[in-house]
A and B are shown apart, each in its own frame.
Chain A
Amino acid sequence: MTVLLVLLGGAVGAPSRYLLDRWVQSRHASTFPWGTFTVNVAGSLVLGLVAGGVAGSDGPAWLLSVLGTGFCGALTTFSTFSFETIRLVEEAATRVAVAGLVLSVAAGLAGCAAGWSLGSALVG
């Protein structure tokens, strides 16, 4: 059962990342990788929300499998984040690379923590 939930979440999360990344990237002209930033922060927030909600209410674990492990896991990406950072450094856009790195980690963590607090408050 968990296998199917993870497959389903992953099958929806990955194309969602592709489309959202593309939508964001077509709306700005800077070298900053806003597309990857957006999917990673949004996914971290939603995962925090779901995990906080499930932990706070002793909620159903299947929700975490499909939305957390599957959907948010595939909506977010670390490989693209690494690749873009390295490529920006290679293209001598080091400041953009460092800004992307620091902002992504800070906003991802803050989003996840805020999501958790909100999730556990909503069910509590």
Chain B
Amino acid sequence: MSADHDLPVDPDVDVHDPVAGWDVLAVVAAGGALGSLARWGLGELAGSAPTGFPWATLTENVSGSLALGVLMVLVVEVRPASRYLRPFAGVGLLGGWTTFSTYALDTRTLLASDRVATAVLYVGGTLVLGLLGCLAGLRVTRRVVR
């Protein structure tokens, strides 16, 4: 396998694995609960900006994408035998911390109030920063652990 082919495409699910046990589902639930609570907490702290720009959701989605890039390299290269690291931190915590539904709802809200330019900036900005963050997380961590 070449250097770039070390990781799965789907970070959450490998259909070749046997169905996860109840312990793994419980760990996913715990991570999801904590990640969701933290996401809600940041939203409460940030409040609604006077500009109406959804900074909290953008921050959550970009930081979570970066962290998943870092985590997946660590899981595969450093801790391949860990049963709970990926379900807890990847599927649960980061899956709960980031959100696609609020990203869509934020955009709908901006469009519904005729703030088309802001909506386009938000949709595109989250995509670009999220993808770059994930790529940076992957590449830097690969360098560090090898």
Measured CB to CB, the residues of A under 8 A from B are 2-3, 6-15, 17-19, 21-22, 25-26, 31, 33, 35-36, 40, 43-44, 46-48, 51, 65, 68-70, 72-88, 90-91, 101, 104-105, 108-109, 111-113, 116
Contacts and interface: CB of A to CB of B under 8 A. Distances in A.
A84 B5 CA distance: 13
Interface in B35-53: 35-37, 39-40, 43
B100 A77 contact: yes
Given A48-B104, A79-B94, A85-B131, 5 more contacts: A17-B95, A31-B9, A47-B101, A69-B40, A74-B35
B132 to A, nearest CB: 9
Given A7-B33, A11-B33, A79-B61, A87 B7 contact: yes
Contacts of B72: 83
Interface string B9-50: 111110100011000010011111111110110010000000
A14 B37 contact: no
Interface of B is mostly: helix
Nearest to A75: B101
14 contacts: A2-B40, A18-B25, A19-B25, A43-B101, A44-B101, A69-B36, A77-B100, A78-B65, A79-B134, A82-B65, A83-B65, A90-B5, A108-B104, A109-B123
A69 B39 contact: yes
Interface string B102-142: 11110110010000000000010011001101110010000
B64 interface: yes
A14 B10 contact: no
A48 B108 contact: yes
A84 B9 contact: yes
A74 B11 CA distance: 16
Contacts of A81: 100, 130
Contacts of A73: 36, 39-40, 96, 99, 101-102
